[in-house]
Structure 1
Amino acid sequence: MSDLPASDLITPDAGEAAILGLASVSILKAAPLTRLSFRAREASLKKAGTAFGVALPVKPLTSTTTAKRAALWMGPDEWTLLAPEEDLQAVAVGIEGKLDGEPHALVDVSDRSDAVIVTGERAAWLLNTGIFVDFSLESFPVGTVTRTLFHKSPVMIWRIGPEAFVVEAWGSFMDYVAGLLVQCAQELEAV
């Protein structure tokens, strides 16, 4: 796997076999994470970032990471916060304590979404079979995150390395998304 900015956070699920393993691209199920949807006004961002352990990005399509935390910009007042699965209570209590009395929303969405890690020299090509986004490093550098559609399914794409992406979808859509990725990747074997 490529160098990942959140390598201790985004890891393959050790209990799962690879979904796909070709020489030029692989798809691995990501290990479970704490996922929080956070919404707040600008005045609360610094306190929330301090409590979370990483500053919340304010530039569109960006992320900030540490070894055990990631904050992904989802919109002008919305972030997805990622942390190890066992840190859910500590993160929630920490943020709620810092923002006591300030308007905000912090919702545990850990069970809503699943993620796969797509890596390899043909990872961007594979994603482009269902997403019309320029995934070149110049246009979509490491750390970039966006919501989009993969075929007809809503997904979140986060570039975590030069040849590595996290593809997140609601759990009810993940079999569809992963199945289409595998089906499209089979074209690589014919090339």
Structure 2
Amino acid sequence: MTADTTLRRSPLGHLADVFAEHSTTGERSVRLREVPFLAQLDLQLYPRSAAVERIASALGEPLPTAPDTAVQAGDLRVLWLGPQQWLLIGPDGSAPATADLLNAALESEPGSVVDVSANRTTLELAGPAARQVLEKGCALDLHPRTFGPGRCAQTLLSKVNVILHQVDAEPTYRLLVRGSFAQYLADWLLDAMEEYRQPPLAP
């Protein structure tokens, strides 16, 4: 482990035990944790550029072109953020190699690759009650008929800008939030989860 990694502190690392304490099991379960230090690369280029095909070949998957969708490309998740913008999310430490791969594929085409890993941390909310928790503060229709695995959106959750990504059908959601808002959002989620720590009311 290098000095750089030993000195790193995630915005919510001090809440790991609190997240575990508030997570529940059973039919109404919901779990919360931080997934810190994910590599995040902002890719911008013209969607009809020849570089799009080269990037698809390098990644092993085409860039998603449908609004608010995401694809899995090996260890990377690629999220559509706009007609000319994507966010690539990968394991801790993978940003330099991914940036090199994308820049090589761009060649001389107009475009940019920017490492934005330090801008956001990631909260993961999972379990049968996860959707109900999010619906307390998010105006999006999160019903599975409209928002399921492979969907993403830039939205507001309790007045905080987040990138919301559903990664599986459990459901499991990942919330990418700027570090300066992470504590507020974590506190809001913990409060929204509180009712699921109690047994349901008798009919």
Tell me the TM-score range normalised by the shorter chain: 0.7 to 0.9
Query: 27, 30, 45: which one pairs with 2:35?
Result: 30
- Equivalent runs, 1:1-191 vs 2, <5 Å: 16-17=16-17, 19=19, 20-23=22-25, 24-42=29-47, 43=49, 44-162=51-169, 163-190=171-198, 191=200
Shift of 1:178: 0.9
More displaced, 16-25 or 100-109?
16-25
Deviations 1:112-169 (A, max 9, x none): 0001110011000000111011111111021100000011110011011111100111
Cα distance in structure 1, aligned partners of 2:164 and 2:102 = 25
Shift of 1:53: 4.1
The percentage of aligned residue pairs carrying the same residue is 25
Which structure has greater helix proportion? 2
Residue type of the partner of 2:114? Answer: V
Deviations 1:36-67 (A, max 9, x none): 01110011322223334432100111111034
Deviations 1:65-116 (A, max 9, x none): 0341110000111100012222211111111112121100111000100011
Q: Aligned with 2:67: secondary structure? A: coil
Cα distance in structure 1, aligned partners of 2:137 and 2:32 = 15
Cα distance in structure 2, aligned partners of 1:176 and 1:49 = 37
Cα distance in structure 2, aligned partners of 1:72 and 1:18 = 30
Cα distance in structure 1, aligned partners of 2:17 and 2:80 = 31
Aligned length: 178
Cα distance in structure 2, aligned partners of 1:70 and 1:53 = 12
Kindly indicate whether the alpha-carbon contact (under 8 Å) linking 2:153 and 2:165 is maintained by their aligned counterparts in 1.
yes
* Structure 2: runs of 5+ lacking an equivalent: 1-12
* Structure 1: runs of 5+ lacking an equivalent: 1-12
Residue type of the partner of 2:43? Answer: F
CA RMSD of aligned residues (A): 1.8
Distance 1:170 1:53, change over 3 A: farther
TM-score by length of 1: 0.87
Runs (4+) off by over 3 Å:
15-18
Shift of 1:18: 6.0
Q: Aligned with 2:68: secondary structure? A: coil
Which protein is bigger by CA-based radius of gyration?
2
Q: Aligned with 1:85: secondary structure? A: coil
Q: Aligned with 2:125: secondary structure? A: strand
Kindly indicate whether the alpha-carbon contact (under 8 Å) linking 2:59 and 2:74 is maintained by their aligned counterparts in 1.
no
Q: Aligned with 1:134: secondary structure? A: coil
